[in-house]
């Protein structure tokens, strides 16, 4: 019994310390708050069930991220894709400050384009540039080669540059602000 209590206490301490950061990663992977919460809950459940087999506790974040990517991939394969992303995002509230609103609009534009990327490319961008993982760490989590990570990152960034550039040119042509 004492072992189970110790295991539960260690797990709770880990979740308390790292839960928010892991939830942000889950959100960036899914693009949906509720789905991110479900994904993190599923990953933490799997982590807790294998807690006794985890030898390197310093690598837990990577372990949980890998579980999230694998779980999301299995969900994506099974999921009926009836939802479609909106062509335009809703306006920000009028109470936002002008500078903050401009930053938020740019962030929303980038996020919309990031969500439109294929799942593997989005996962590479999130792990490499948001989580600041190396190419080798990203490859290990995604269970692919370093070359695949490089090519997926290159394609994703090229796509984002093209889409954002086209959007900026379109805004400039109609006299709007980017």
We report the CATH number of the domain holding residue 153 as 1.10.10.10
Check whether residue 44 and residue 103 sit in a common domain: no
What angle is formed at CA 54 by the lines to CA 14 and CA 8, rounded to 5 degrees?
Answer: 45
More confident residue, 100 or 119: 119
Residue 165 belongs to what domain range? Answer: 90-178
C-alpha to C-alpha distance for 52 and 118, rounded to whole angstroms: 35
Q: Is residue 69 part of a domain?
A: no
pLDDT over 60 at 170, yes or no: yes
Find the mean pLDDT for residues 83-100: 60
48 vs 83, residue with greater confidence? 48
* The pLDDT of residue 165 is above 80: yes
Question: Is the distance from CB of 71 to CB of 46 less than 8 angstroms?
Answer: yes
Q: Kindly state whether residues 100 and 176 are assigned to the same domain.
A: yes
Averaged over 153-176, what is the pLDDT?
85
User: Is 84 a member of any domain?
Assistant: no
- Rounded to two decimals, the pTM is 0.55
According to the per-residue pLDDT averaged within each range, which of 81-95, 142-156, 158-172 is highest?
A: 142-156
- Identify whether 140 is part of a domain: yes
Among 30-34, 80-84, 161-165, whose mean pLDDT is lowest?
80-84
In a domain, 81, yes or no: no
């Amino acid at each position: 019994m004492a072992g189970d209590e110790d295991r539960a206490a260690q797990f709770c301490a880990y979740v308390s310390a790292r839960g928010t950061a892991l939830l942000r990663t889950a959100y960036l992977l899914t693009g949906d708050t509720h789905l991110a919460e479900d994904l993190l809950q599923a990953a933490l459940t799997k982590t807790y069930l294998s807690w006794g087999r985890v030898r390197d506790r310093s690598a837990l974040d990577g372990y949980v991220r890998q579980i999230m990517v694998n779980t999301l991939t299995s969900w994506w394969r099974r999921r009926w894709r009836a939802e479609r992303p909106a062509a335009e995002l809703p306006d920000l509230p009028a109470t936002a400050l002008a500078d903050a609103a401009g930053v938020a609009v740019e962030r929303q534009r980038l996020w919309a384009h990031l969500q439109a990327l294929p799942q593997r490319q989005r996962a590479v961008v999130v792990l490499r540039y948001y989580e600041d993982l190396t190419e080798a760490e990203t490859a290990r989590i995604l269970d692919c080669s370093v070359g695949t990570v490089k090519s997926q990152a290159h394609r994703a960034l090229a796509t984002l540059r093209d889409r954002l550039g086209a959007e900026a040119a379109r805004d400039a042509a109609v006299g709007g602000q980017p």
